[in-house]
Structure 1
Amino acid sequence: MGNIASVGATRAGARRLGVGTMGAIAALALAGCGAGQAPPPAGTSSAASASAGGSASASAPALATGLATASAAPSSAARRSAAPSAAPPAAPALKKFTFPDGHLSFEYPAGWSVSVAQGPVLPDGGLDSKIATVRDATGNELATVHSGMYAGGAAGPVSSRTIIEQARVPLPDQRGQAVYAFYADATPDGRTWYSMGIESGPLSASDKSTTGGAVELPNGFLLAHVVFADAPFGSVAAAKAWYASAEGEQLRALFLSLAYA
Structure 2
Amino acid sequence: MRPAHCAGILPALTAAAILTLTGCGASISSDGADSQVPAASAPAATSTAPAASTSPTAEGVRATSSTPPAEGLATFTFPDGRLSFQYPKGWHAELFEASASPFVGTATVSDPTGPAEITIYTGEIADVVAGPGDRTVLETDPVPGLIGHSVPTPHSSFFVDRHDGVSNYRMGLTAGLPVSPDGEVQNGLIMLGNRVLTADVVFTGQPFADDDAAKDWYWGPEGRALKAVLMSFSYR
Identify whether the pair has TM-score above 0.5, normalized to the shorter chain. Answer: yes
Greater Cα offset, 197-206 or 20-29: 20-29
Partner of 2:160: 184
The answer to whether the Cα contact below 8 Å between 2:119 and 2:202 also exists between their aligned partners in 1 is no
Aligned residue among 224, 228, 232 for 2:207: 232
Q: Secondary structure at the match of 1:230?
A: coil
Q: Distance in 2 between matches of 1:243 and 1:255?
A: 13
Q: Any idea what the Cα deviations from partners look like across 1:68-113, whole Å, max 9, x if unmatched?
A: xxxxxxxxxxxxxxxxxxxxxxx97111111122111111111201
TM-score normalized by structure 1?
Answer: 0.60
Partner of 1:162: 136
Flag as ranges the 4+ runs of structure 1 deviating above 6 A. Answer: none
Uncovered stretches (5+) of structure 1, i.e. residues with no partner: 1-16, 31-90
Q: Distance in 2 between matches of 1:227 and 1:142?
A: 6
- Assess, with a 3 A threshold, how the Cα gap between structure 1 residues 230 and 20 changes in structure 2: closer, same or farther: closer
1:140 CA drift (Å): 3.8
- Assess, with a 3 A threshold, how the Cα gap between structure 1 residues 162 and 92 changes in structure 2: closer, same or farther: farther
The answer to whether the Cα contact below 8 Å between 1:96 and 1:106 also exists between their aligned partners in 2 is yes
Uncovered stretches (5+) of structure 2, i.e. residues with no partner: 18-69
Partner of 2:84: 105
1:177 CA drift (Å): 2.2
Q: Distance in 2 between matches of 1:140 and 1:203?
A: 25
1:237 CA drift (Å): 0.3
Q: Secondary structure at the match of 1:27?
A: helix
Greater Cα offset, 201-210 or 101-110: 201-210
Partner of 1:217: 192
Partner of 2:95: 116
The answer to whether the Cα contact below 8 Å between 1:26 and 1:223 also exists between their aligned partners in 2 is no
Q: Secondary structure at the match of 1:162?
A: strand
Q: Distance in 2 between matches of 1:199 and 1:243?
A: 17
The answer to whether the Cα contact below 8 Å between 2:122 and 2:195 also exists between their aligned partners in 1 is yes
Q: Secondary structure at the match of 1:254?
A: helix
Partner of 1:93: 72
Q: Secondary structure at the match of 2:13?
A: strand
Larger RCO (CA under 8 A, 6+ residues apart): 1
1:208 CA drift (Å): 4.9
Partner of 1:71: none
Q: Any idea what the Cα deviations from partners look like across 1:101-151, whole Å, max 9, x if unmatched?
A: 211111111120101101356xxx3x2122111121237451111122421
Question: Which amino acid in the other structure matches residue 105 of structure 1?
Answer: S
- Assess, with a 3 A threshold, how the Cα gap between structure 1 residues 233 and 141 changes in structure 2: closer, same or farther: closer
TM-score normalized by structure 2?
Answer: 0.66
Q: Distance in 2 between matches of 1:118 and 1:233?
A: 33
- Assess, with a 3 A threshold, how the Cα gap between structure 1 residues 234 and 166 changes in structure 2: closer, same or farther: same
Partner of 1:198: 173
Partner of 1:3: none
Question: Which amino acid in the other structure matches residue 129 of structure 1?
Answer: V
- Assess, with a 3 A threshold, how the Cα gap between structure 1 residues 166 and 260 changes in structure 2: closer, same or farther: same
The answer to whether the Cα contact below 8 Å between 1:197 and 1:226 also exists between their aligned partners in 2 is yes
Q: Distance in 2 between matches of 1:233 and 1:20?
A: 9
Identity of aligned residues (%): 35
The alignment of Structure 1 onto Structure 2 pairs a total of residues equal to 178
Question: Which amino acid in the other structure matches residue 125 of structure 2?
Answer: Y
